[in-house]
């Protein structure tokens, strides 16, 4: 989730539980503690482009790390913001724990994947109920937390947190409807999916990307879940077969290892880019939801040394055609 939303939700829970006299400082502690787990993005390497993917949403996002992460936040934030206002270290730790604890659970509501139980498990939980940026979710929380701070009234913060729960529940209902539509599309094609998922698209819970796997292919479609459900049939691509698609690749090379790392990060949804034979894409994400035009990929090189890493690339499809296609689905009220 974006840092602003993480911070605001992190502020709302400690404010909800605080006394009026502590409300402002509780919000500040929760705000910074709620954003703190994303400092894991600083763990990166110039020689290993995939390292940041391995550590983002890993140990700092584990539910088991909350006591440690919140303690670190308290050690930093208590002397800066709370001690001079009369809060004890224990009180500051309580507020930081509430703020820090919201982060991983909110991230798990997106579709990126969060390792909630590391180190016991490296499974990435992705509940697919909300986009990583959704103004309809964030703005009410911003307004209510601001009112709670200005008026020193914790009830505004409690309403903000309640709004978050209601919206995430609505996203879950929308996701389930989208998945039903996805299964119907697959059945119309006489496909029997091995697995199928509905993922929210940017900034809304109306238009969903459907991704499903058959024996040899991945298929992507879009559905709009409004008063009625409307489908937008999309594209398909062959599943990655390393021996077939990259016969020149040494299976013991670092690039081959990086493919498997990328496969784990992408939950297996990887394919050779139809527009670039040396690129492997994560088919789960695109600007236009019924297209295979990935937002990130890894690039291989047949002349790379055995120890050389694959190159990690991000792609931003900002073309007017893509924007118009997506907005057309979002505003299609027929």
Per-residue model confidence as pLDDT tens digits over 135-177: 999 999 999 999 999 999 999 999 999 999 999 999 999 999 9
Do 139 and 99 fall into the same domain? yes
From 26, 60, 22, select the one nearest 41 (Cα to Cα).
60
Domain final residue, candidates 236, 254, 278: 236
Checking if the pLDDT of 334 tops 90, the result is: no
> 272 Cβ partners below 8 Å, 6+ apart?
237, 238, 240, 245, 279, 280, 281
Residue 204 sits in the same domain as residue 278: no
Is there a single domain that holds both residue 94 and residue 229? no
The answer on 28 and 103 residing in a single domain is yes
Omega into 119 within 30° of 0, i.e. cis? yes
Q: What stretch of H or E contains 102?
A: helix 89-108
251 and 207 belong to one structural domain: no
Kindly state whether residue 58 falls inside one of the protein's structural domains: yes
Query: Which residue, 214, 236, 258, sits at the end of a domain?
Result: 236
Whether residue 107 is contained in a domain is answered as yes
331 is a domain residue? no
pTM for the whole structure = 0.94
- Residue 141 and residue 126 share a domain: yes
Phi/psi for 210 (5° steps) reads: -100, 125
- Residue 324, number of CB atoms within 10 A of its CB: 10
Q: Is residue 329 part of a domain?
A: no
Residue 151 CA to residue 162 CA, distance in Å, equals 19
238: tokens are: 């062959």
DSSP string, 119-182: TT----B----S-S--HHHHHHHHHHHHHHHHHT-HHHHHHHHHHHHHHHHHHHHHHHHHHHHH
- In the predicted structure, residue 327 carries a pLDDT above the cut 70: yes
The count of domains in the chain is: 3
Beta bridge partners of 229: 225
Spatial separation of the C-alpha atoms in residues 313 and 292, rounded to whole Å: 16
What domain range includes position 182? Answer: 172-236
Question: Which among 216, 236, 256 is the end of a domain?
Answer: 236
Residue 33 shares a structural domain with residue 163: yes
Strand partners, 122: none
Q: What mean pLDDT comes out for the span 33-45? A: 97
Amino acid 277: pLDDT:
96
The helix (run of H) or strand (run of E) holding residue 263 is: helix 254-265
Average pLDDT over residues 292-319: 93
Taking CA atoms, 44 is separated from 49, 54, 73, 80, 275, in Å, by 7, 9, 21, 28, 29
pLDDT in tens, 230-250: 999 999 999 999 999 999 999
């Amino acid at each position: 989730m974006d840092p602003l939303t993480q911070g605001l939700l992190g502020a709302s829970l400690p404010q909800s539980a605080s006394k009026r006299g502590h409300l402002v400082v509780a919000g500040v502690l929760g705000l910074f503690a709620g954003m703190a787990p994303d400092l894991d993005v600083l763990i990166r390497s110039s020689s290993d482009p995939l390292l940041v993917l391995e550590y983002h949403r890993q140990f700092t996002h584990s539910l088991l790390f909350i006591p440690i992460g919140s303690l670190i936040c308290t050690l930093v934030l208590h002397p800066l913001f709370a001690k001079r206002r009369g809060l004890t270290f224990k009180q500051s730790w309580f507020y930081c724990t509430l703020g820090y604890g919201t982060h991983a659970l909110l991230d798990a509501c997106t579709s990126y994947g969060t390792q909630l139980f590391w180190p016991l498990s490296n499974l990435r939980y992705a509940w697919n109920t909300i986009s990583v940026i959704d103004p309809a979710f964030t703005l009410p929380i911003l307004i209510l937390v601001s009112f709670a701070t200005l008026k020193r009234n914790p009830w505004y913060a409690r309403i903000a947190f309640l709004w978050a729960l209601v919206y995430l529940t609505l996203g879950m209902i929308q996701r389930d409807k989208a998945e039903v539509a996805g299964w119907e599309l697959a059945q119309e094609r006489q496909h029997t999916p091995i697995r199928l998922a509905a993922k929210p698209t940017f900034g809304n819970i109306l238009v969903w990307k459907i991704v499903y796997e058959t024996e040899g292919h991945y298929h992507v479609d879009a559905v709009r879940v409004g008063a009625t459900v409307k489908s937008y049939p999309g594209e398909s691509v062959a599943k990655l077969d390393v021996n077939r698609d990259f016969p020149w690749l040494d299976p013991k090379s670092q690039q081959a290892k990086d493919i498997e790392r990328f496969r784990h990060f992408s939950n297996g949804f990887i394919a050779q880019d139809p527009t670039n034979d040396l690129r492997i894409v994560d088919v789960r994400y695109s600007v236009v939801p019924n297209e295979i035009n990935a937002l990130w990929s890894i690039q291989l090189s047949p002349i790379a040394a055995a120890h050389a890493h694959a190159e990690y690339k991000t792609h931003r499809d900002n073309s007017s055609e893509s924007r118009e296609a997506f907005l057309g689905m979002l505003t299609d009220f027929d």
